[in-house]
Every structure is written in C-alpha cells, then in structure tokens.
A and B are shown apart, each in its own frame.
Chain A
Amino acid sequence: MPRMIVIGYGNPLRGDDAIGWLAAQKLSEKFQDPQITIIASHQLTPEMSLSLSEHEKALFLDSKAGARVGRIQARSIHLKKDTPVGTFSHEVSPEGLLAQSKLLYGKAPKAFICTMECEDFELKEGLSAKAEDNFQRYLKAAEEVIFQK
C-alpha cells in the first residue's frame, strides 16, 4: 500500500461542517497503520503542502453545502495546468494545496476527495440528525478510497 495522507477538515463548533474533522478522528482511532497519516484540522493550511509532497496518495474529507443532505460523493482530484487558486486565505482548496506541493516540492500525490452534502452549519456541537444518520456510510466511503488500489 502506498504511503497515504488523510486530511479531514471543518469546524467542530459549526454543526455539519465538522463532518470531515469527525471522520478523521474516527479513522485515526481505527487505523494505527504507519503507512497512513491522518490529520483532523479546522481548515486547510499552506504547510500541508509539505506533508502532501511526502505521500503517494491523499484523501480529503469535507462537508459540502447543499440541499441533498446525506448525498456522499467520492472523486479523484485532477491537477490542471491552470488550477484555480484560492484568493482567500481561509479557503485554501485541496486543488490549491496540491498545486503548491507540485510547484514547491516537485511532486503531488494522487488525490481524492470525499464529501457529504449538508445544510446545517449553525453554531453548535454535534451533527444534525440527517448527517448523523449518514455518517457511517460516509466513513465506509472514505475507507473504500483508502484501500482502493
């Protein structure tokens, strides 16, 4: 299995925004494999590009604002020549981080992102009932990407 990095991000005080963060916590309890680095973070930050460059495969875990609550999507991220970059510091994108990794360190891992569509981002701890109902499915989808050859 190639060295892999999993980055789950979101604000645990903003309802379903915590999906990626919570999933990373759960996965880190389950997997103690030295081949897998798991990070739970409030947000994506520039120095993560360095960590990305040190791995062969990456998985980002995030929530996605949308009306079809519970819809889970896993897809690969393709670096394009003109990858759009975030202008705002608080929304460094996975694509932006991968581009940064490639530009600065000469390599970027094969990358995927797994999202769950959510609509409750109010100030509170814990997921909405709908997101909670789908959380195990979300974890399963993330694991499938992790072990996908």
Chain B
Amino acid sequence: MTKEIVIDPVTRIEGHAKITVFLNDSGEASEAQLHVTQLRGFEKFVEGRPFHEMPALTARICGICPVSHLMAAAKAGDSILAVKIPPTAKKLRRIMNMGQHIQSHALNFFHLSSPDLLLGFDSDPAKRNIFGVLKDHPELARDGIRLRAFGQKVIEFLGGKRIHPSWAVPGGVSSPLTIEVRDKILALLPEAKSIALKTIGWYKQAFGKYTAEIQSFANFPSLFLGMVTPQGGLEQYDGLIRITDENRKIVADKLEHSNYQSFIGEAAETWSFLKFPYYKPMGYPDGNYRVGPLARLNIIDKCGTPEADKEFLEFKQLDKGAVKSSFHYHYARLIEILFSIEKMEQLLHDKDILSTHVRATGGVNAFEGIGASEAPRGILFHHYKVDENGLMKWCNLIIATGHNNLSMNKGITQVAKHFVKGAKIQEGMLNRVEAVVRAFDPCLSCSTHSLGKMPLQIQLIDPEGKVADQTVR
C-alpha cells in the first residue's frame, strides 16, 4: 500500500510550499514532490504599464530580493532603449547588487539555516529557530544582524530606500555616488569583512559533523549554470553564461542571456505551479541544472579577489570535480559574501566611481528587451515586449527558484529516501526534508504577510484518501 506524507508549508523559506512524500509498502520513501504556489499573476498585472516603471514595480514583488528584480528590469529597459549605459552606472549597479547578495545570503545563513547547523537537525523544534540561536549563540546572531544591516545600508545609501529602491533605471542609475556616501560605505567594510572571515572559519570547523546530510542533501551529478567574467571569474551582475557538468567540464560557454530561449526550455508538471526549466540540448529532465551560489562557484576558474580566492581553493577540494552536495550552498554563500565585500571595496576605489555621467537616455528603440542578472539565489531573466509607446505588451520572468525546481525535487526525494523510515511522522526526518529545500534558499515571493500566516501542516494520507496521520505546528 502506498502512503503519502504532506508537509505544508515548508518552514523558514520565503513564501509558501508544500512537500509530499510518497511511501511504498515497506514504509520507505519512493518519491517526494515540492509543490509551489507561485504568484504568476504578476506578469499579467504589468501589461499596459510603461516599461520604465518596471524596475520600481518589479522590485515590489519581494521584500527580500527587490534589488535583483530591479537590476534585471533595468537591464531589460536598457535593451528597449538600445543604449550602452555609462561605465560608472554599471559599477554602481554592481555595488548595489553586492549589497543585495550580502543581506540576502546573511538572512539565509544566520536566520534560516544556522538553527539547524548550530542546534542540530534533531534538536527540539520549539528551540530550533533563530531564538534558539539568540539564546545559545548570541554573538553569532549579532554578527548576522550586523552583516545583514550592512548590506541593507549599502542599498539604502545608494538608492535612498532600503526595501524598494528605484534608483536603477533604464539607461543607468538616477543619481551619482557622492563622496560622503562612498566614505560611509568604506567605513563599514572592515567590520563586514571581519564577520565574513570569522563565519567562514566557524563553518569550516562545524560542517564536518554533518556527514550524512552532506551525502544526501541533493548530492547528485547535474549541470551548473551562471554568469562568469570574461576571465572566468565570479560574476554577480553581468556577463556571458557558462554551463558546466559534474566534472567541472564546460558544456557551453559564452552564451548571451538575450538568447536564453535557445538553450533553456521550460517544462510543466501537473502537480506544481512552478515551471521546470532545463538545458534544451539535453532535453527534459536530463538537462537538469542548478543555479545560485553553489553553481556559481562550480562554473568559475577563480573568484577574482584575494581572500575569496583563498577560500575558493579550499572549497574546490571538497569534492572531485564539481562540489555536488547542495548542503554546501551554505559554504558557497559565505564565500560570496566575502567576495562581495572585497569587490565592493575595489569598486569604491575606482577612479571613475564618482563620475556624474551615470545615465544614457533614449526612446523606444526596440520593441523587445531581455535583462538578466545574478540574484542571490541564481540567475534571473526579465523578458519584455512593448508597443511603440513603450507600454508593456508581454512579460516573462524566470526566477532562480524556478531554475532550481528540478534539483530541489530530486533533492527532497534523495533526502527522503535516506531519512524517512516508516509511516510515522518523526521530527528529525521532516526537518531534514525541509532543510534540503532551505539549502537552495528558494524565494517564493511571499506576496503578502497577512496571507502568509499558516501553520505547518503534515499529513499522512493513504491511497483511499484518508488521513492516516496528521500533525500541525
């Protein structure tokens, strides 16, 4: 008899999701599925709006990663204007995007994932949350807040607003960097760097006790996809796309994001609202690829800053070829924080960073525009079509969580097979199934906090549809 365990919603991820674990007659997991209630109405909602409003509008999709949408939307707008933005504007957008990476990665690591890492996957769920960390490890919790606040301040200093800055606009940015703001950010960098290095040091001595989780948390061969610099370095804002395999072998390189439809396909499954992107030449589902911090570190030859490069060399030693365990998304996230801090410092010392020429102007010179940037969770595409007045006729957004959809599903099946034993719901096993999803840091665009207050519901349903076991927390 086949039974079904439903975990609804997954705790401590951005938005809502439900996990169903199917059990076979022996009480072992045979398959698991992640169901996502994604807000797809947004693409329809923006039809008829002027394209230049898109950065400010799309930045409101999410309170955690507004800058990612801001960047992709501004770049799609650049394409519609058909302009080359001033070099300083590009550097300033880069700095803001790094602030975004730092604050978002810090949120995931310190507030969502550290309870598992510090208190253990089998610890009391009533204590295994950020407040458990606050009580037992207040210094680490304070560090997390300082680091996240630093990223937020960078965004706020540049954009004038912390959560929904509309400073990046089609053609560049709306205002140049002042000496005062540059110096304010520079003054905050040493503390941020110190926290990043300290946390990486802690993680390296801590992850060794999670061997079973490292082995089973979405640890499988796949492709990895992301942007790289022309020198093969770590890229977070712009660049050509590279795809590598589990041996770090380059499968495709120097792909233009504007041609994404030629190499990325989107499959659909009846049981999820979220699409399943795949690498077209390998077909579905074989063309499964991962994006985000782990993927970015697996596709590059180097990071490109001194301290991050040292850590990258150690990171590469974790596995033969690519680092395949998604558990190490955490490690990759920390290295990216360090890289962002170092790179930000380099950019702030750039000789042209205070230039006042930060915006190119133009009219509607193209009726279609595609923008892409590396969001904290992975590459993000914004694809727009407009009429002659610049009004939106069509929009397609491919978000990082979508790119990772196949891998997350494969990952929860793997971890369920490893840890789910018997038809009785046990806290430790459920938490591990949830934790593998959290490792990917999915952002399901929590559309409203009022609607988001749902308890965690876990159900065991038999083939006749009866609830065999149920728990709510």
Contacts and interface: CB of A to CB of B under 8 A. Distances in A.
Interface of A: 9-14, 17, 39-47, 49-50, 62-65, 85-91, 96, 99-100, 103-104, 118, 121, 123-124
A88 B61 contact: no
B14 A104 contact: no
A106 B448 CA distance: 31
Interface stretch (B26-34, B130-138, B267-275, B405-413): B130-138
B63 A41 contact: yes
19 contacts: A10-B448, A10-B449, A13-B45, A41-B163, A42-B62, A45-B152, A50-B149, A62-B450, A64-B450, A88-B11, A88-B12, A88-B13, A88-B452, A91-B449, A96-B131, A99-B131, A121-B450, A123-B45, A123-B447
A91 B138 CA distance: 21
B41 interface: yes
B138 A103 contact: yes
Nearest to B59: A42
Interface stretch (B139-147, B215-223, B254-262, B457-465): B139-147
Contacts of A17: 448-451
B412 to A, nearest CB: 18
Contact of A87 (B60, B64, B456): B456
Nearest to B112: A89
B351 to A, nearest CB: 33
Contact of A47 (B14, B145, B450): B145
Given A41-B162, A46-B148, A90-B446, A85 B131 contact: yes
A100 B452 contact: no
Interface string B7-39: 001011111000000000000000000000001
> Which one of B60, B110, B164 has the highest number of Cβ atoms from chain A below 10 Å of its Cβ?
B60
B130 A46 contact: yes
Given A42-B163, A46-B111, A64-B450, 15 more contacts: A43-B63, A43-B449, A45-B152, A46-B110, A46-B145, A85-B129, A88-B452, A89-B14, A89-B111, A90-B64, A91-B452, A91-B453, A103-B138, A104-B134, A118-B450
A103 B134 contact: yes
Nearest to B9: A88
A91 B12 CA distance: 9
B92 interface: no
Contacts of B138: 103-104
Interface of B: 9, 11-15, 39, 41-42, 45, 57, 60-64, 66, 107, 110-112, 129-131, 134-135, 138, 141-142, 144-145, 148-149, 152, 162-164, 446-453, 456, 473
B141 A104 contact: yes
A11 B63 contact: yes
A93 B39 CA distance: 23
A63 B450 CA distance: 7
Nearest to B151: A47
Contacts of A13: 42, 45, 57, 60-61, 447
B115 to A, nearest CB: 10
A40 B160 CA distance: 12
B129 A87 contact: yes
Given A103-B134, A104-B134, A123-B42, A46 B60 contact: no
B451 A65 contact: yes
Contacts of B144: 46
> Which one of A10, A39, A46, A62 has the highest number of Cβ atoms from chain B below 10 Å of its Cβ?
A46
A20 B74 CA distance: 28
Contact of A100 (B13, B45, B66, B130): B130
> Which one of A39, A43, A118 has the highest number of Cβ atoms from chain B below 10 Å of its Cβ?
A43
Contacts of B162: 39, 41
A10 B447 CA distance: 9
